[in-house]
Structure 1
Amino acid sequence: MDIQVCRPGELSAADRTAWTAMQSASPPDGAPRLANPFLSPEFTLAVGHCRRDVRVAVVRESGAAGAEPVAFFPFQRTALGVGRAVGLGVSDCQGVVHRPGFTWDARQLLRACGLTVWEFDHLADGQGPFEAGATGAYASPVIDVDQGYDAFLAGLRVRSPKFTRTTLAKERKLGRDIGAVRYVHDERDPRLLRTLMAWKSAQYRRTGRSDRFARPWIVELAERLFHSRSDSFAGLLSVLYADGRPVAAHFGLRSPRVLACWFPVYDPAFAKFSPGLVLHLRMVEGAAAEGMAHLDLGRGAKEYKDSLKTRELTVFEGWITRRHPVALGHRARRAPVRALRNAVVNRPHLFGPADHLLKRMGAIRSGGD
């Protein structure tokens, strides 16, 4: 087995084709979850354009046709050998993309990549050698649409009758009170992407969260992905309009069979109509019409996710380390922060007060009451 490390832009066209083929060979509803667009070469290439620390390990094995790629491992690396999943903090699916049946030695891979530690927070299931370093497993809700929108809606009426009835009623009320409701599944106007980022930044500030779009590289990443278009990958901007005015929007990534939900947001001026929930139902309808298998709502507990989901996948958080002082120091710094965050997020009696405090701080920072 030969492991070569390169920058994303140094991958050959044949390597990128092989990478995509490995994703296509993975069933989107099974394990491993290699069909997720966050695991695509296009996502790694886009992050590599925005950051100088991105690398890809290409694993090759000799065969009848010569040394052929059998796995791709994208990562970020500091000068001290501290590794992170590509796009850690904004990526919702991470791991090694590989041929069916391929396995690897995690520490051997880290050594070949010049890493003392590799940190992840959305490791896909089916990544056995890396799962050994997991410190926690978390639900990632999905919406199955492979049977079509009508079948999904019928099931939703059974699973979440009040949610379904209320959301559909609010969509009708939005049309009556504001004006004709229109949905664009694939909006190509870049001005709407800028509107979404402005709304999302305001939401982050209002709720006391860290503003991702205050980081120039994330803005550049979103813009680059918005313009990425191929049969195997695309950035997808979906917008809900009322009387010609955008009231809710979502930017995510799609592969041929999976829509990864990423940045949903709505105009708070229309909050009483729940435009974000209306938008999600329209997104489900649009994804079903395109023949997708499911929408991945991503890790994190939200009431709307519980209402919409048809099942859950699992993602893992943790790190793989080699015996090295840098790895020990990194883990010593990061472990307490992660443990505190997860303790708050996973315990309602702690999350409620913490969330309220963050929103109060956000209101003060935004000049609200």
Structure 2
Amino acid sequence: MDISIHRPDELNTSLRAAWHRAMDESPDYANPFLAPEFAAGIGRHRGGAQLAVLHERGEPVGFLPYERGTFGVGRAIGLGLSDCQALVHRPGVTWDARELLRACGLSVFEFDHLVEEQKPFSRYVTGAFSSPVIDLKDGHGSYPEWLRGTYPGLAKTTLKKERRLGRDLGEMRFVFDERDPRVLRTLMRWKSAQYRRTGRMDRFARPWIVRLVDDLFQVREEHFTGVLSVVYAGDRPVAAHFGPRSRTVFAPWFTAYDPELRYYSPGLIMHLRMAEAASRQGVRLMDLGRGDKEWKDWLKTRELRVGEGFATRPHPVAAAHRLWRRPVRGLRNTVLAHPRLREPADRLLKTVGTLRTSDKAGSGSRPGSGRAR
């Protein structure tokens, strides 16, 4: 096995085609977060992005995008943003994890959404978690017919709220693939304010993430397309979502809505509308991503398993990194796994978010004004 190292944003046409072929040959690798276009997007905005290409008899057969930090500390490409991580390879290809790390110049490789199939990394998995998905079939008939047939327990209430939204604000309509960048800005503004209200890290306060989303919005390829979906009432955006799709997998990513309209359940309406529209586009799986959320339990048809952990080779840096990071991840996972701990933690974060928002209002700042434009 020969391994070469490249910049993911500088791949030639033949390597990109070989990567796409590996995605097509296994459903485990059909997720758009595993596409070269996503890795290239990260590479254009993150200096440490690299790609290991595995060769057998001179032919490229495997691809591992990663980010390399100081002292050889590595992490899955887009860690913290990506909902699916793997070494994408053709069927039958085997590799040794430590040999791979050595070739990449890494002492440690951290991941948190590793696909279950990755056996050479299995010994390094410190936790396995459910990742809810929706299996989609060919869409036929009207949206109400699809909703009643697929989610009979949600149909009556959801359709009632849609009708009420139309009466109160103007005719409701849904656009699966909106190309207006102004609505993308609205989505980022809503999401930024939501992060602050709930005490979470504001991702859109980071300029490189804003630039990445702007960049991926322009990508329209067979294995990766940046899709902006919008629920409108009249001409007013009510809810919006941006996320990637491949030929067969759609990955919800950033969803937000006008908080003034939360009583209409715009987030649920958005996800149901997206699922129905995606099924008509040939999508067969909607990957909702790791995390316990009530709405995911309502919508999922089954669950995948993803792994979290640290692949290492003998090195002092690897030992130090593991000692530092593993307790932090363990504490977070313990809180998230137990409702009695998670609910007080959520309340605390929301209190912090309220105080943070109040401070900004008192200083004359608008909610979301700290986000890079």
Answer yes or no: same fold by TM over 0.5. Answer: yes
- Of 254, 278, 288 in structure 2, the residue corresponding to residue 263 of structure 1 is 254
Tell me the CA shift for residue 172 of structure 1: 1.3
Report the equivalent of 1:354.
345
Given the superposition, is the C-alpha separation of residues 149 and 323 from structure 1 closer, same or farther in structure 2, using an over 3 Å criterion?
A: farther
Q: Which residue of 1 is the match for residue 168 of structure 2? A: 177
1:61 to 56, 75, 87: 56
Q: Write the letter of the residue equivalent to 1:297.
A: L
> 1:35, CA displacement in angstroms?
0.3
Q: How many angstroms apart in 2 are the aligned matches of 1:69 and 1:152?
A: 43
Q: How many Å apart are 1:12 and its aligned residue?
A: 1.6
Q: Does the alignment pair 1:81 with 2:72?
A: yes
* 1:252 partner letter: G
Is 1:130 matched up with 2:106?
A: no
SS at match of 1:304: helix
- Map of 1:105 onto structure 2: 96
2:364 is matched with none
1:166 to partner: Cα distance: 1.7
Q: 1:36 aligns with which of 31, 40, 48?
A: 31
How many residues in Structure 1 have an aligned counterpart in Structure 2?
357
Distance 1:135 1:355, change over 3 A: same
The residue type paired with residue 147 of structure 2 is L
Cα distance in 1 between the residues matched to 2:13 and 2:308? 32
Q: Give me the whole-angstrom Cα distance separating, in 2, the residues matched to 1:227 and 1:7.
A: 20
Mapped partners of 1:39, 1:209: distance in 2: 26
The superposition leaves residues 161-187 of structure 1 with CA deviations (integer Å, 9 ceiling, x where unpaired) of 1x3322221111111111100111001
TM-score by length of 2: 0.93
Residue in 2 aligned with 1:309?
300
Shift of 1:9: 2.9
**Are positions 1:153 and 2:147 aligned together?**
yes
Checking the alignment, whether the CA contact within 8 Å between 1:144 and 1:152 is kept in structure 2 is: no
List gaps (5 residues or longer) in structure 2: 362-373
Picking from 61, 73, 90, the partner of 1:70 is 61
Q: How large is the Cα RMSD of the aligned pairs?
A: 1.5
Q: Provide the C-alpha distance between the structure 2 equivalents of 1:88 and 1:341, rounded to a whole number of angstroms.
A: 16
Check whether the contact 2:9–2:39 (CA below 8 A) recurs between aligned residues: no
* Corresponding position of 1:30: none
| Distance in 2 between residues matched to 1:266 and 1:97, nearest whole Å | 35
Pair 128,155 (structure 1): closer, same or farther in 2 beyond 3 Å: farther
Q: Is the CA contact 1:72–1:96 (under 8 Å) kept in the aligned structure 2?
A: yes
Counterparts of 1:10 and 1:175, CA distance in 2: 48
How far does residue 156 in structure 1 lie from its aligned partner after superposition? 3.7
Q: Name the TM-score, length of structure 1 as normaliser.
A: 0.94
Q: Is the 8 A contact 1:142 1:310 kept in 2?
A: yes
State the one-letter code of the partner of 2:64: F
Per-residue CA deviations over 1:225-248 (Å, capped at 9, x if unaligned) read 001111221100000000210010
SS in 1 for 2:106: coil
**Distance in 2 (alpha carbons) for counterparts of 1:261 and 1:139:** 16
**Displacement of 1:153:** 3.2
Structure 2 residue matching 1:307: 3-state secondary structure: helix
SS at 1:76 equivalent: strand
Structure 1: runs of 5+ lacking an equivalent = 28-32
The alignment partner of 2:342 has SS state of helix
Q: What SS does the corresponding residue of 1:56 show, helix, strand or coil?
A: strand
